[in-house]
A and B are shown apart, each in its own frame.
Chain A
Amino acid sequence: MKRFFAKLLISLAYTLRSSKKYQKRRKFFYNLLENDNYKYKKYFDAFMIFLIFVSVFVLIREVKHHISDWLMVFNNYVISIVFLIEYILRLWVNGSVSAIIIEQDEHDTMLSREFQLDVALKRIFKRKFSYMMTPKAIIDLLAIMPFFHELRLLRLFVLFRVFKLFRYTKSFTGLVSVLASKKFEFFTLFLFTSIVVFVSSVLIYVLEGSDPQSNIKSFFSAVYWSVVTLSTVGFGDFTPVTQEGRFITMFIIVSGVGVLSFFTSLIVSAFNERLDEFKEAKTVENISKLQRFYLICGFDSIAKEVVKEYKFRKKNIVVIDSDEEKVQEAKQMGLKALCLNPGSVASYEKLAIEPHRQIKAVLCLANDDIDNVYAALTIRSFDKKVRIVSLLMNDANRTKLKFAGVDDIIYPQELIGMITKELVGQPVAFEAIHALRSENSMVKIDEIIITEAILNNYSYVGELQNKRYRIVLLGVYKKQYERFWFNPIDSTLLELGDILLVIGYFPFIYEFEKHLMKRVEDA
């Protein structure tokens, strides 16, 4: 029987591992419950927070008002069942049972022995139990308790639902982690406070307890009085009447001021120490959410000019540099910047991004070829496809940048030489071309990609009617042949992916593009 059960379990484990449907569902629930970068998680969290507030509202309202039956049912059963399902799902996605069984089976097969069902079950139990014992899981479990609403005491367990907020709001988690970083200091403070409370309670009880005029008649009242006085709240419902009692009061008030100051300074220093860490974590989180962005490695003078460029100003830009001062400068320019070494893979792992999907292009813009080569090589080591543009400061390093996998190399020195040559030879023509490139000019040179929608409307260059829109068609770039056809004749066939190079006033180009897309509708 045991052998049969073991076989069944192993077979089931392998089936689940190879089942795409099962793995896909498991991954979906894992993302929904645990992955902060999953786009639908925020909606799920918002829904759970809403349920929590409904529970608390019912608890408060119920004290003095009648709650309608449907709301009670919703509160006692629907919400509790939702929490129960959530608890079970979390238990399911935290640690894979099938993986443990398969691992055990492979282990036993290697050692040529029978599958040890007991060991596997123990490991599964240990794994799940260790999750169930985590503070968050305990809170989740206790939050289901109000399900048993008839037990009045259990209604207070609704408050555990409030604790669940820790799970759904990161700020709370941040607060806890800040306080946890000062564990020792808080423990010391707690110890000191406990001793002061205990000593003063004993003293006040001994000195006042037997006095008929005093209202501190029990040791509990003495402890209560000590805590209220130490916290500098001082309700005044219990007051010392003897000379000695008042002397103790002065001592405890002074101690209270010290305790409060110490407590406040502890929290402030804990936050100060971790403020940068929080900000960095927030930046990383924001970056990981970006759909597409440009990554600038090295924030030197040319990088600063690049981000000022109009075309870049409208785009998402992320800057990384190992120099903290440069990072601060980038932040002051309103960019998302992090102090990370562009030449380390760990830096990109920390960004928690999918490079091929999120990075549009990497710009290695350090004023040092060594840094640029190193950054380019690092990026190429984990992504072969992403486009890399790099500055070249010394022509002798050109081949090194090419070897490092850089797609486009910009050599300022060479540029200045070429510009000068053209400028000196044909100044007017140069200025005309410069105007086309300038961001301040309304005249632009633009690229229009021939899409299927355009192809449905037009097949030949002669049909485009660019002259009607006062657009100059400089030529067509045929992607298929990687060749540029200058001033194409009217019968030139348009193909999918071709790029039209057009020159004209920006608003006219915009109208022309609209016209290319809309012809069928017009007809």
Chain B
Amino acid sequence: MPKSALIFGSDKYAIEIANSVKESYEIEFFVMDENEQIDFDGEYKKNVFDLSDEWYNTEKFEDVENTIVFCTLSEESENVFLVISLRSNFDSLPIVAIAKNKESVDKLKMAGANKVIPIEQTTAEIISDIIHNPIASKVLHEILYEKSDLKLAQIEVENAEIFGGEFPADIDWSRYRGVVVLSIMHKDLSTEFIYSSKSKRHELKNGDMIIVVGYERDIVEFEKLVGSRRYVNWSDWSW
């Protein structure tokens, strides 16, 4: 079954999100006004909704494994109301919301959004990075967002035996030449930075997640070694 991204709202951020995820998701827009003119010119399916509970009885939201919802209504109060309505109806539905400022971030999180992207704060952080750490910012930006040979990958461990019960801090990661291990997320959802586990003694187990940076072929080699796959059920993670 194809994955679907349900986008509420039709402003410039909604369109940008649709364009960014359209390769992996089937996009559907939800707008409040049927006559609303939007930029996508029939490229995506358009539905009409209101903020009452009646229209939620739809199968679209039931398949939480293959559905992700983006709430991008420009009116902050309506956006919060939409998130809280969705969450009250669908417990496990992955919801990503766009917020203008910090105040809205807190409200959207409390309303039940899995992830909130604050526009102003994020932009400010990027400006700060560009000014203060221009090289680091450029490299990270290329790794994350642009067509760079370097890739960032999250790899789930399925063959933990190769580490022989060692703690992350004791493993000589340079053995895995080609990739740089940035971080480890344990199955119990606690993250730790690779060389900083002085206080935390937790050996690597199957199900843990390793975040690596490297070239594609080296990452593939590393994946083979730890017997892993680059897949994650997104809705399991919430910060």
Q: How far is the CA of A347 from the CA of B68 in the complex (A)?
A: 50
A416-B16, A429-B152, A431-B239 as given contacts; A422 in contact with B125, CB under 8 Å:
no
Contact of A311 among B128, B143, B169 (CB under 8 A): B128
**Closest chain B residue to A391, Cβ basis:** B123
Which B192-214 residues have C-beta < 8 A from chain A?
A: 193-196, 209, 211, 213-214
- Complex interface bits, A469-506 against B, C-beta within 8 A gives 1, otherwise 0: 01110110100000010110000000000010101110
Asked whether, in the complex, the Cβ of A474 is within 8 Å of the Cβ of B120, the reply is no
Check if B71 is an interface residue, CB within 8 A of chain A.
no
Complex interface: chain A residues within 8 A of B101 (CB): 301, 305
Which of B17-25, B26-34, B158-166 touches A?
A: B17-25
Closest to B16 in A: A417
Query: Which one, B51-59, B77-85, B129-137, B220-228, is touching chain A?
Result: B129-137
Judge if A437 is at the interface, Cβ distance under 8 Å. Answer: yes
Residue of A nearest to B12 (CB): A413
A391 cross-chain contacts in B, Cβ below 8 A? 123
Residue pair A445, B133 in contact (C-beta under 8 Å): yes
| B80 to A: closest C-beta gap in Å | 18
A472 in contact with B195 given A414-B16, A477-B135 (CB within 8 Å): yes
Whether B132 contacts A471 by the Cβ 8 Å rule is no
Distance in Å from the Cβ of A414 to the closest Cβ of chain B?
A: 7
CA distance A360 to B145 in the complex (A): 27
Interface presence of A443 (CB below 8 A): yes
- Closest A residue by C-beta to B153: A429
Q: Do the beta carbons of B195 and A445 come within 8 Å of each other? A: no
Is A501 in contact with B136, judged by CB distance below 8 angstroms? Answer: yes
- Would you give the 0/1 interface string for A394-435, flagging 1 where the beta carbon is closer than 8 Å to chain B? 000000000000001010111111111111111111111101
Tell yes or no: B234 within 8 A of A by CB. yes
Q: Cβ of A505: which chain B residues have Cβ within 8 Å of it? A: 193, 196
Question: Is A420 within 8 A of B128, CB to CB?
Answer: no
Chain B's closest residue to A301 (CB) is B120
The answer to the question of A389 belonging to the interface, with a C-beta cut-off of 8 Å to chain B, is: yes
Given A416-B122, A423-B117, A437-B125: A410 in contact with B130 (beta carbons within 8 A)? yes
Q: Assess whether A305 is in contact with B124, with CB atoms less than 8 Å apart.
A: yes
A306 in contact with B140 (CB, 8 Å): no
Interface residues of A in 499-518 (CB under 8 A from B): 499, 501, 503-505, 508
A487 touches B180 (CB 8 A): yes
- Contacts between chains A and B (CB distance < 8 A), count: 191
> How far apart are A189's CB and chain B's nearest CB, in angstroms?
54
Q: Is the CB of A416 within 8 A of B191?
A: no
- Residues on the B chain within 8 Å of A310, using CB: 128
**Complex: how many Å from CA A487 to CA B21?**
30
Docked pose: A439 CA to B20 CA in angstroms: 27
Given contacts A415-B126, A424-B234, A487-B178, contact A447 B117 (CB under 8 A): no
Also in contact, A412 and B20, with CB within 8 A (given A309-B124, A470-B195): no
A49 at the interface (CB under 8 A from B): no
Say yes or no: A422-B144 contact (C-beta < 8 A), given A308-B124, A410-B127, A472-B195. Answer: yes
Given A423-B117, A445-B133, CB of A428 within 8 Å of CB of B182: no
Residues of the B chain whose Cβ atoms lie less than 8 Å from the Cβ of A470: 169, 195-196
Say yes or no: A416-B125 contact (C-beta < 8 A), given A421-B21, A472-B195.
Answer: no
Question: Does A48 touch B at the CB level, under 8 Å?
Answer: no
Is B139's CB under 8 angstroms from A474's CB? yes
Q: Which residues of B contact A436 (CB under 8 A)?
A: 140, 182
Are B195 and A428 touching (Cβ within 8 A)?
Answer: no
B9 to chain A, nearest CB (A): 12
For residue B72, give the distance in angstroms from its CB to the closest CB of chain A.
9
Pick the contact of A415 from B123, B215, B230, B234 — CB < 8 Å? Answer: B123
B89 at the interface (CB under 8 A from A): no
A195 at the interface (CB under 8 A from B): no
Tell me whether B119 is interfacial, beta carbon within 8 Å.
Answer: yes
Identify which of A365, A420, A426 contacts B21 (C-beta below 8 A).
Answer: A420
- From residue B216, how far is it (CB to closest CB) to chain A in Å? 12
* Residue B150 at the chain A interface, CB threshold 8 Å: yes
Question: Are B135 and A499 in contact, with the CB atoms below 8 A?
Answer: yes
- Given the known A-B contacts A389-B131, A428-B154, are A302 and B183 also in contact in the complex, defined by CB atoms under 8 Å? no
Interface residues of B toward A: which range?
35 or more
CB-defined contacts of B145 to chain A, threshold 8 Å? 418-419, 421-422
Interface positions of B from 154 to 192, Cβ below 8 Å from A: 154, 169, 174, 177-183, 185, 191
Distance in angstroms between the alpha carbons of A474 and B183 in the assembled complex:
13
Q: Given A308, A389, A472, which contacts B180 in the complex, CB threshold below 8 Å?
A: A472
Residues of B with C-beta under 8 A to A423: 96, 115, 117
Q: A412 vs B230: C-alpha distance in the bound complex, in angstroms?
A: 29
A38 lies within 8 A of chain B by Cβ: no
CA distance in complex: A421, B24 (Å): 9
Instruction: Check: A361 CB closer than 8 A to any chain B CB.
Output: yes
Report whether A417 and B129 are in contact in the complex, using a CB–CB cutoff of 8 Å: no
Interface residues of A in 438-475 (CB under 8 A from B): 438-439, 443, 445-447, 467, 470-472, 474-475
Q: Which residue in A414, A418, A447 is a CB contact (below 8 Å) of B133?
A: A447
- Flag whether A271 is at the interface (Cβ < 8 A): no
- With A428-B209, A433-B140, A470-B195 as known contacts, state yes or no: A412 contacts B237, CB within 8 Å: no
Q: Within 8 Å CB of B153, what residues of A?
A: 426, 429
| Complex: A474 Cα to B212 Cα, angstroms | 11
In the complex, what residues of A have CB within 8 A of residue B121's CB?
305
CB-CB under 8 A from A125, the residues of chain B are: none
B61 partner residues in chain A, CB cutoff 8 A: none
B232 close to chain A: CB less than 8 A: yes
* A435 adjacent to B133 (CB under 8 Å): no
A294 at interface, CB cutoff 8 A: yes
How far, in Å, is B2 (CB) from chain A's closest CB? 14
**Can you list 27 residue pairs at the A/B interface with Cβ under 8 Å?**
A302-B123, A309-B128, A310-B128, A360-B131, A363-B127, A389-B127, A412-B122, A413-B12, A416-B13, A416-B117, A417-B17, A419-B117, A420-B20, A420-B96, A424-B21, A432-B191, A433-B143, A433-B152, A433-B182, A433-B211, A436-B140, A447-B135, A472-B181, A474-B139, A474-B180, A477-B139, A504-B195
A-B contact sample (7 more), CB < 8 A, given A410-B127, A416-B119, A501-B136: A361-B131, A420-B21, A420-B70, A424-B21, A430-B144, A433-B140, A474-B139
The 4 lowest CB-CB distance pairs between A and B, nearest first, are: A470-B195, A305-B124, A417-B16, A417-B20
